[in-house]
Amino acid sequence: FNAGNAEVQWFNVEACIVFHMANAWQEGDNGEIVRLIGGRMNKFDFDGILHFDVVKNRKNGYNVPRIYEWKLNTKTGEVQERVINDEYRDVEMPLIHPLYEGRKVKY
Give CA angle at 96 (84, 73), nearest 5°. Answer: 50
Q: What is the pLDDT of residues 10-58, one digit of tens each?
A: 999 999 989 889 999 999 998 899 999 999 988 776 666 666 666 666 6
Q: What percent of the chain has pLDDT over 90?
A: 33
The backbone torsions φ and ψ at residue 7, rounded to the nearest 5 degrees and listed phi first, read -95, -10
Amino acid 49: pLDDT: 63
Answer whether residue 69 shows pLDDT above 90: yes
Confidence label for 66 from pLDDT (cuts 50, 70 and 90): confident
Taking the CB of residue 16, how many other CB atoms lie within 10 A of it? Answer: 16
Answer whether residue 68 shows pLDDT above 60: yes
How far is it, in rounded angstroms, from Cα 54 to Cα 3? Answer: 42
